[in-house]
Amino acid sequence: MISIVGIGPSRKDITLRALETIEKADVVIGYKRYIDSIEDLLSGKEIIKKGMGDEIARVELAIQKHFEGKKVALISSGDPGVFGMSNVFFQLIGKYSGLEVEIIPGVTAANYGASLLGAPLHDFAVISLSDILTPLSEIKNKIRHAAQGDLVMALYNPLSKTRKEPFREAYKILMDVLASSTPVGIVRSSSGEPEVTITTLADLAEDQIDMSTVLIIGNSTTYVEDGHMITPRGYVIRSSLHPLAQEFYENYLAGETVVGPNTQCEYYPCHEHPQNCTFCYCPFYPCGDGSTGGRWIKDKGVWSCQDCEWIHQDDTVECIQSKLPDIVQEVDDLKSHRKKLLKLRRECMSATKK
């Protein structure tokens, strides 16, 4: 049996299944650095270490030892199926018959990095910026489409001492497509304990990054709260409708509210001027989503919209108005159709936030 074993990002994060598989192995094969990280598990085993770039040789050795009747553990960092040894092995599987193989999954850098940053992942793409085996044109195409699709991105192998162009080209695309304020998580594991930094796309600098770094680029809904990077899924938060909101939407549905700036209101402007007052009371309240500036008033259980100006922008109002009449025909629909409303919110955020 050949077991392709993911040992995770660090010695502390190896899985029980990986430990058990290595314990049963007669032969352990891997890149020198990865073998050294699990040296305490290898007593009494045949150990074969290879250098970076010798991936094909490692697979051929594993197959040779397998045909000798040995139990082989072919070691891969992180998860072997994510830029790891599984890809190399299965590229050669058609060359031989009679192979027995199993994959032992491991914690990959995207999940490890996300766990240190908070909850940044929702729908996401994992992309390597290494152009050693991949044309730069292909990398740029993937980056652009992931950004245009509003996917969170985990970027592997972002920058080395000699390979800087892929990162610089990817950065140009990200700045072109995404808002410069988009949160970026940096998890750097080049020495000992990982260094964790949260910054913005505009402030992302090359000296913060190396080959042992995973970058997590947020999407249009990602925000930072209490030092945590968060990409909300949009869970429904139930709340009663305030009497003033009830009155407002009765008038709104009757066509008796102001469209656009309400300069006659004694509180105008209650947000930054100029503001669109069509939705004086937000139809999504409480969204519980800090990506547009709202926040919980701690220990009070109250959602504050004081710093959210998104609902008062012209393009936001236009987007909401295009579909809100199909969802809300009477005031009670604001409570009974919460999921539809929050999906509309996400749709309009994606359309308007750059």
Measured between alpha carbons, how far is 80 from 75 in angstroms, rounded to an integer? 8
- Whole-Å CA distances, 225 to 165, 204, 287, 311: 33, 19, 15, 20
Give 10-residue mean pLDDT values along the chain (354 residues). Answer: 94 93 95 90 91 86 94 95 93 90 96 96 96 94 96 95 94 96 92 88 93 94 94 88 93 93 89 89 93 91 91 95 95 94 92 78
Q: What is the pLDDT of residue 191?
A: 65
Q: What is the pLDDT of residue 270?
A: 86
User: Taking the model in full, what pTM does it have?
Assistant: 0.87
Domains along the chain with CATH numbers: 2-107 (3.40.1010.10), 110-230 (3.30.950.10), 243-352 (no CATH)
- Whole-Å CA distances, 82 to 17, 65, 69, 283, 348: 18, 24, 28, 42, 33
Identify the CA nearest to 177 among candidates 128, 218, 238, 124: 218
| CA–CA–CA angle 264, 267, 270 (5° rounding) | 115
| 189 in Cβ contact with 163 (< 8 Å) | no
Q: What is the pLDDT of residue 239?
A: 87
Pairing of strands 118-119, 228-230: parallel
Q: What is the pLDDT of residue 142?
A: 98
Q: What is the pLDDT of residue 146?
A: 97
Q: What is the pLDDT of residue 354?
A: 64
* Cross-strand pairs, 119: 230
Measured between alpha carbons, how far is 107 from 282 in angstroms, rounded to an integer? 41
Identify the CA nearest to 48 among candidates 34, 65, 27: 27
